Every structure is written in structure tokens, then in C-alpha cells.
Amino acid sequence: MQIALTRNGLLTRVLLVVFATALLTLSAKIKVPFYPVPMTMQVAVVLLLGAAGGARFAFQSFGAYLLAGAAGLPVFAGTPEKGIGLAYMTGPTGGYLLGFLVAAVLVGWAADQFGRKGMVLSLPVALVAIYALGAAWLAQFVPADKVMAYGVSPFVLGDLFKLCLAGVLAWFAPAKLTSLIRGKTDV
């Protein structure tokens, strides 16, 4: 029995998801020193994966990333120093991980349904989703009056920059690249 995999078949999809998972991991490890916690480039990559790849690719990629982390691989920001696996995922930043998943799928859905303009308009909504889920989860670990100070305020300006960066990169991404990621054409 011979299994033929076209370029846009299963093998291509798996390789793209593995690449995206590696990119998410790398973006979590790139730290920009900042008080009270360092920032990463993860927001930009999360939004870009949704924008360039669509909802399905965003879900597959971020799902694989979460599964790798749950299995104990040090893919998250601050791992292995701050714990690994489910212990990390259920810690103070767990809500942001959920927010990233929702944001990536939301941006991907908007790009799928409404094209580039819809994708751009969805970016601020996606950022609000990240903050809302992250802050709600963080409130279980820090006093309510500290949630905004620790979990939102320090990141707004940097995340707005990353949002713009992701939007520009996705807007100007070559059509062949986005078609390959979305599995719509042979490249």
C-alpha cells in the first residue's frame, strides 16, 4: 500500500504546525526586560498565526503548542524555571494561554470570513480577549486591586506595537505563503 502525500497534504500540514509551534516557543523565550514581569513576542506571533493561517491553522498550531506544554516540554515563557506541564498551565498565567488560543482563532476566523480588512479589525478585539481571560484567571492568584497593575497595564503599549506589527506582516504577507499555510494551492 502506497500513501501519496501532496505538498498540500497531511505532511505539509504537519510540518507547518510543527514550525508554528516552534515559532510560538521561540517567541515565548524572547524576553524584553520590563517591570514587573518581562514581555515576550508571543502576542505578535499568536495574532500573526491567526491572520496568516486562518482559524483552523491557528487552532491546530496553538493546540499543538498547548499539548507540548501540557506534556512537560519547556515551551512556555519562564519554563522550566517557573515549572512545567499542567502545573505551569494552571498557574497565574494560565488564563493568558487560553486567551492566546481564543485570540488566534478569532483573528483567523475574521480573516477567513472577511479577508484582510476583517483581520485588521479583529486584532484589537483579540487583544481584549487575551487581557480579559488572562486577568480573570490572574485574579485567582493576586489581590483584585493588583490585577490591572500586574496583568494588563504594563503590557498595553508593547502589545499595541506587537498588534500593529502582526497586522502589517499579515497584510503584506505574500499570497503564495498564506495560500500554502491555508492549504489552498500548490506552491
CATH number at residue 117: 1.10.1760.20
Supply angle C-alpha 94, 97, 98, rounded to 5.
95
Q: What is the pLDDT of residue 10?
A: 85
Element (H, E) at 56: helix 42-70
Q: Can you give the pTM of this predicted structure? A: 0.88
Give the pLDDT confidence score for residue 172 in this predicted structure: 86
**pLDDT in the model for residue 129:** 98
Residue 5 lies in a domain: no
Q: What is the pLDDT of residue 3?
A: 47
Report the alpha-carbon distance of residue 44 to residue 48 in Å, rounded.
6
The confidence score (pLDDT) of residue 180 equals: 74
- The set of residues, in sequence order, having a beta carbon less than 8 Å from that of 184 and lying 6+ positions away, is 8
pLDDT score for 2: 41
For 78, half-sphere exposure in the C-beta direction (CA atoms, 13 angstrom radius) is 14
- Per the structure, the count of domains in the chain is 1
**Cα diameter, the chain:** 63
Q: Residue 144 has what pLDDT?
A: 94
Partners of 32 in the β-ladder: 39
Q: Is residue 94 a part of any domain in this protein?
A: yes
Domain span including residue 154: 10-182
Residue ranges in the chain whose pLDDT is less than 50: 1-5, 186-187
* Cα separation, 145 vs 120, whole angstroms: 32
* Residue 4 covered by a domain: no
The answer to whether 151 and 134 have CB atoms below 8 angstroms apart is yes
> What pairs with residue 39 in β-bridges?
32
Q: Is residue 162 one of the residues assigned to a domain?
A: yes
